[in-house]
A = this chain, B = another copy of it.
Amino acid sequence: MRIVVALGGNALLRRGEKPDASVQIEHVRAAAEALAPLALRHQLIICHGNGPQVGMLSLESENDPALTRPYPMDVLVAQTQGMIGYWLAQCLRNAGVNRPILSLVTQTLVDSGDPAFAAPTKFVGPGYTPSQAKELADEHGWAIAADGERWRRVVPSPEPRRIIEQDSITRLLEHHAVVVCGGGGGAPVTADPAGRLTGVEAVVDKDATAALLAIAVEADRLLVLTDVPAVMAHFGTPQAAELRRLDLDELGALRFPAGSMGPKIEACRRFVATTGNTAAIGSLTDATAVLNGTAGTTLTEAVDARVRDLPEILNPTRIGGAG
């Protein structure tokens, strides 16, 4: 089976943790152990997030007195692909994956006319109090927005249109390599009419990139692995319950909060709608069970009426789960 896994950046660095290398590599080690059974039995692409990491490197660059201008987001995303790709390749190997493991630095084509450039929404870096955030925004020229009770920097998050390296990625899968790519959504680039690429100040959503990649390589499954066990109905209330199966019709009737579970569900929806194949959302630690449908939320084109479960608790306004 050919599988694309989207791995949350928060799975590699939890909120409130120091962004030390030693902290992150422990999380990567746990992630690699959870993914190793998939890597050994299937064709596997891993597309990791990088929210906390690109935020850290961005701040370091902003504060580097040797620079005239801080590094643009495309370059910082590429740096995180190097760092996290290195950790993942090393830890997968150490977890017993005795197949070639290749971490690729990849570029994601976006449209220069994407409306996202005029309305930044993607959180990068740590959270601040409103007054701290305002001060930093003035100092660095950031756009900022509220993320729960904290305020964070936001950057444009245009839609991914194509993974520049997607044909090579397919070729590598055919040769039984495990491929780490599209990290942080891929370094975002636009193309001029002659096809020449230029990096842009943006961060592509890694779940959207993973979905596009899964479609491009004709994957059998898209797994969005994070730190919550499943998509929840009545999230945050005493009636909270896992949604174990959803189909496209049911999804169409639901609304999800932007910025947390929303992009994950949207990525799965696109993959399922385009390919007719199955996607799933669940906990990284349950990776194998999520693949098998015995944990997490499985999203399909159409669920047979006899196996629908929990339809009575569906509530369009209270679906969620931390991302």
Cβ distance A195 to chain B, nearest Cβ, rounded Å: 8
Q: Does A307 contact B (CB under 8 A)?
A: no
What 10 A-B pairs are tightest by C-beta distance, nearest first?
Answer: A82-B82, A78-B86, A60-B60, A103-B105, A85-B105, A79-B79, A100-B168, A78-B82, A81-B82, A94-B196
The winner among A79, A86, A189 for most chain B CB atoms within 10 A is A86
Chain B residues contacting A81 (CB-CB under 8 Å) are: 82, 86, 105
Can you list, as one digit per residue, whether each of A57-96 has a CB less than 8 Å from chain B (1) or not (0)?
Answer: 1011101101111011011001111110111011001100
Q: Does A18 contact B (CB under 8 A)?
A: yes
Question: In the bound complex, do residue B21 and residue A75 qualify as a contact, i.e. CB atoms below 8 Å apart?
Answer: yes
Question: In the bound complex, do residue A197 and residue B75 qualify as a contact, i.e. CB atoms below 8 Å apart?
Answer: no
Given A86-B187, A94-B197, A168-B177, A69 and B22 contact (CB-CB distance below 8 Å) = yes
Cβ distance A203 to chain B, nearest Cβ, rounded Å: 14
Q: Does A216 contact B (CB under 8 A)?
A: no
Given A83-B79, A197-B93, A66 and B19 contact (CB-CB distance below 8 Å) = yes
Question: In the bound complex, do residue A86 and residue B107 qualify as a contact, i.e. CB atoms below 8 Å apart?
Answer: yes
Question: In the bound complex, do residue B64 and residue A102 qualify as a contact, i.e. CB atoms below 8 Å apart?
Answer: no
15 A-B Cβ contacts within 8 A? A18-B67, A19-B66, A20-B67, A20-B68, A22-B69, A59-B64, A63-B63, A75-B83, A78-B83, A82-B83, A93-B197, A94-B196, A103-B104, A103-B105, A105-B105
Question: In the bound complex, do residue B102 and residue A165 qualify as a contact, i.e. CB atoms below 8 Å apart?
Answer: yes
Q: Does A167 contact B (CB under 8 A)?
A: yes
Can you list, as one digit per residue, whether each of A265-308 has a CB less than 8 Å from chain B (1) or not (0)?
Answer: 00000000000000000000000000000000000000000000
A95-134 contacts to B, CB under 8 A, are 100-105, 107, 126
